[in-house]
Amino acid sequence: MIEASDWAGAIDVALEQVRGGANVLDVNMDADLLDGEEAMRTFLNVIATEPEVARLPIMVDSSRWSVIEAGLQSIQGKGIVNSISLKEGEEAFLEQARRIRDYGASEVLDYHDDWPALVHEITGGGAPKAVNAAPGQEANTLNAVADGGRLATITGDPPPSQRGIQLVDAYVAPDGLVLEAAVGQLLARGQTIPIAGIYGLGDAAIALRTVVQGRAEGACVLDPAR
């Protein structure tokens, strides 16, 4: 679509994401046949003319700094950068972080090297709040939190609290036997469940928001094959 310069079609996709409940619009132009910098600039200028899309924060998503900077130069309002890392060295990393802040954006760090120390260096003391969803990264994420801050984990394995940090752990364990029994009871009673929508795993967040916001007129099904 982007490779064919179908900007109207690209806007339709963005509108679908917005109307599906997206809180952030992720824009990535990393493709072999694309001029990433030009595609990023053009698309961001196009969506700026669509009020329904333009109201969302933009995540400039690329593995190439030149594409990220092209996006930062084109977005209106505060943006998010995904992501910067230490692969080009600490000096380049800190310079990129400084320039991101100069553009008024926020950055996302990769889980590489001593990233908690970089969080402290960038923020001047650590993140006031953090959420960890990566198994095995609970303690590292805690190290990135400022004294007296808050950490929420969803892994079921929260680290011991330290430095006055408030910890919250939310974990739901799957239980196949209970689910199987519930389905059996449903079928035995001849009941049916209306299906509001079927989503691929990549759209799980949209499905969840639809349910939480009460906009689903039936069940939202996740299909791994999609």
Q: Which domains does the chain have, with CATH numbers?
A: 1-113 (3.20.20.20), 127-173 (no CATH), 174-226 (no CATH)
pLDDT score, position 67: 93
User: What is the average per-residue pLDDT within 108-118?
Assistant: 70
Phi, psi (degrees; rounded to nearest 5) at 130: -150, 155
Q: What are 33-44's pLDDT values in tens digits?
A: 789 899 999 999
pLDDT score, position 163: 93
Cα distance between residue 49 and residue 72, in whole Å: 17
pLDDT score, position 178: 73
- In sequence order, the 6+-apart residues with CB closer than 8 A to the CB of 143 are 116, 117
The band of 218, judged by pLDDT with boundaries at 50, 70 and 90, is: confident
Mean pLDDT of the chain: 83
Residues shown for the chain:
226
Instruction: Please check the confidence at residue 118 and state whether its pLDDT lies above 70.
Output: yes
Q: Is the pTM here over 0.75, yes or no?
A: no
Percent of the chain residues topping a pLDDT of 70:
92
Q: What are 129-160's pLDDT values in tens digits?
A: 888 877 888 888 899 899 999 988 877 788 88
